[in-house]
Amino acid sequence: MEKINAAESIGAGVSRSGGQSEELHATGVYKVTCIGADGQVKWEDTIQNLVTTVGKNDLLDKYLAGSAYTAAWYLGLVDGGTTPTYAAGDTSASHSGWTENVAYSNSTRPAPTWSAASAGAKSTTATAFNINGTATIAGTFLISNSTKSGTTGILYSAGSFTGGNKSVSSGDTLNVTYTASV
């Protein structure tokens, strides 16, 4: 004799993420083109920069201040007489791993022109350094002070060429663009 016991069973489960995560990383890339006195491209290189702690703090303080913020920014050149090193703690007054090179005839550090931000990035147009001597350039930096060799203002970022130090000669023009991304 056979018996059948009828039974019914139901199961359900719900899973859900316990939170959300979003990160903001301040980064940037410099692109540099050296145009010789003859108008020909001598070399090109890029720089993956370090955004300094004071640069990040300035970005946050100004953006989240609740009022309109405008600042002038300037580009500078890193000297290649030695191999530079960069640290998150670098400031305009204290950056012991590198020095500025001022072998250009511009009366001040040149000011870039910025585009409107798009897709989390903001770029400059090419900013010209008119070289007036023979020099070795290691890289470039972004700062809020126009004075050549000035040590005040906010040092936002700095970095070295990916291909090593580069030589420049009097009559050359260095065209520098910068793209900041978050």
Could you report how far apart the first and last alpha carbons of the chain are, in Å?
76
Q: Is 53 helix (H, G, I), strand (E, B) or coil?
A: helix
pTM: 0.84
pLDDT in tens, 110-155: 999 999 888 888 999 999 999 999 999 999 999 999 999 999 999 9
Dist. CA 78–CA 100, nearest whole Å: 5
Residues in the chain: 182
Token digits of residue 12: 């359900």
Cα→Cα distances 100→73, 77, 158, Å: 16, 6, 11
Domain positions in the chain: 42-181
pLDDT in tens, 77-111: 999 998 999 999 999 999 999 999 999 999 999 99
Band of residue 173 on the pLDDT scale cut at 50, 70, 90: very high
pLDDT in tens, 141-150: 999 999 999 9
